[in-house]
Amino acid sequence: MHATGLISQRRTVKADALVVFIPSTTKLFQSAIKALAADVPHIQPLIDSGDFTGKKGSTVLAYAGSALKAPRLILAGLGEIDEITVETVRRAAAAATKTAAAAGVKHCAYDVAAIKDMSIGDVAFAVTEGAMLSQYRYWKYKTTANNGNGMVTSFSIIGADRADQKAIKQAVETASTIVESVNIARDLANAPNNEIYPESLGKRATEIGRAAGFKTTVLDKKKIQALKMGGLLGVNKGSERPPVFIVMEHHGGKKGEKPIVIVGKGVTFDTGGISIKPAAGMSDMKGDMHGAATTIGTMHAVAKLGLKKNVIGLVPATDNMPSGSAIVPGDILTFMNGKTAEIDNTDAEGRLILADALVYADRYSPETVVDLATLTGAIIIALGNTTTGMMGTDKATMDRLRNAASRTSEYVCELPLYEEYEELIKSDYADIKNSGGRAAGSITAALFLKHFVSYPWVHLDIAGTALQPKPGPYVPKDGSGVGVRLLTDMIKNW
Ligand code: MN
Ligand code: ZN
């Protein structure tokens, strides 16, 4: 999808559909409609019918006849003016774009004049995100799908003058790069295991790095053995496919400046191992590498936007398979730093591969480390599919993430890591065990990771937010791309 900002009037703008955003607040609604009716007189009966009142998220499609250059007119409700946020605009743009797509529209023009309490740059950013994110499809394997059919493929945002146009252009460019990065993460998460397995994930990261301008190094099994990554090798034991450890580097900051390290869980398929999962819904587990997908997508955004920060992305990747050579409950693994863990449940594998990655991260003397993982089913019980669980030791970075969450609406909520919970992962035979049972399952998973951390650290449990059971306003079903916008915003505003 490509986009432009242009100086135009809604009467003369060339597009398949003109989208006009309208608040519901009575006075503003009436004045907006009055102005619109001056251009498109036959809009009045539609308004008189009460079918469109500017309600948040509502849209209505009308035909403009010869009144406009654009044959279709879409009214998009914003709700009460006092309550309009960037998220309102994002969602309204998504709703309007979906309505347009359903009508076969290819090019939309957005008239944003009614959104007054926000800078034109912020408005254009939100419209771009909402419009573009809503048009994502995963149809790579549909041989009958006509690529681009039923989708809006380009758009423009109308500005009043040259200053507007400049601000729109800049916002659209940045937002488009971020959306592209989100969609990279969605594609990776949605790809089946016979396409994305450790080595092909490494290859994909390398290609994406080449295109975006970050450096990728893929460590193979031999190097992983030399590093004594016993967690990653342990989880990989049941697999035919070798593991990889992916290192991505963006040097945008000053030389010697401590980097931000992002670590993403890359379990390319999680059967549960010997502690095998039930058959129903197991195909979701092709997305158990969404943490990795988010890490790669974020590196793409950070590099392509040329952010002035040193950022490292680390991905331990393996699948988790049951076989005659797989680890079994009771086994004890020794990690890169020499610590040991007893395997209580082979389905608690994510923390085992992250442990080694977190130890590896220490060599960068990081300013902070943020890991992302589809780690626990327990986080879905606690926070549903709406909010990412946040835990860790780095209060300052958690504040930054909360701020980024308020701007991106990729919500985070902190859970406590009180030492009392440590009781639950005590082992009789090793330093710790890999599962603490059902109670506080997300917290004990994080506490397991904390044993491998020697720097400021935040853990994001995205098991609920990464794989969506149904589509949202601009987030598709399944691989959501969660975290790319959140982390990119945090790094952009560091
Ligand atoms: Mn698992
Ligand atoms: Zn898993």
Neighbours of ion ligand 2 (CB under 5 A): 267, 270, 288, 350
Domain parsing of the chain, residue ranges: 2-161, 181-492
Q: Annotated catalytic residue: which of 186, 351, 450, 485? A: 351
Check whether 146 has a pLDDT greater than 80. no
Structure confidence at residue 145 as a pLDDT band (50, 70, 90): low
Q: Residue 108 Cα, ligand 1 centroid: separation in angstroms?
A: 43
DSSP 34: H
Cα–Cα distances (Å) from 418 to 112, 275, 314, 399, 444, in that order, read 48, 28, 27, 19, 10
pLDDT given for residue 22 in this prediction: 97
Report d(CA 320, CA 343) in Å as an integer. Answer: 14
For residue 247 the two structure tokens come to 């290192």
Query: Under DSSP, is residue 108 helix (H, G, I), strand (E, B) or coil?
Result: strand
pLDDT at 8: 72
- Are 158 and 109 contacting, i.e. CB atoms less than 8 angstroms apart? yes
Identify the band that residue 199 occupies on the pLDDT scale cut at 50, 70 and 90: very high
Res 136 pLDDT > 90: yes
- Structure confidence at residue 335 as a pLDDT band (50, 70, 90): very high
* pLDDT, position 150: 85
346: CA distance to ligand 2 center in Å? 9
Length of the chain: 494
* Measured CA angle at 79 (ends 156, 386), to 5 deg: 85
Q: What percent of the chain has pLDDT over 70?
A: 98
pLDDT value for 239: 98
- Confidence band for 149, pLDDT divided at 50, 70 and 90: confident
Contacts of 31 (CB under 8 A, 6+ apart): none
Is residue 351 among the annotated active site residues?
yes
Predicted confidence (pLDDT) at residue 4 exceeds the cutoff of 80 = no
Q: What percent of the chain has pLDDT over 90?
A: 94
Q: Which pLDDT score, from 0 to 100, does residue 147 have?
A: 63
Amino acid at 145: A
Q: Which CATH code for domain 2-161?
A: 3.40.220.10
The runs of H, that is alpha helices, within 323-362 are 350-361
Task: Exactly one of 106, 277, 339, 402 is catalytic; name it.
Answer: 277
Closest ligand relative to 275 C-alpha: 1
pTM of the entire predicted model? 0.97
Checking if the pLDDT of 314 tops 80, the result is yes
The rounded Å distance from CA 386 to ligand 1 centre is 21
pLDDT score, position 1: 67
User: CA–CA separation, 360 vs 82, rounded Å?
Assistant: 48
Q: How far apart are the CA of 273 and the centre of ligand 2, in A?
A: 10
- pLDDT tens figures, 374-395: 999 999 999 999 999 999 999 9
Q: Which ligand is nearest to the CA of 353?
A: 2
**How far is ligand 2, taken at its centre, from the CA of residue 322, in Å?**
13
* pLDDT, position 9: 81
Q: What is the per-residue pLDDT for 143?
A: 85
Q: Tell me: the pLDDT tens digits for 401-457?
A: 999 999 999 999 999 999 999 999 999 999 999 999 999 999 999 999 999 999 999
pLDDT at 3: 73
Those residues whose C-beta lies under 8 Å from the C-beta of residue 347, and which sit 6 or more positions away, are 270, 272, 273, 275, 276, 277, 320
Average pLDDT of span 465-474 = 97
Domain 181-492 in CATH 3.40.630.10? The answer is yes
pLDDT at residue 274 tops 80 = yes
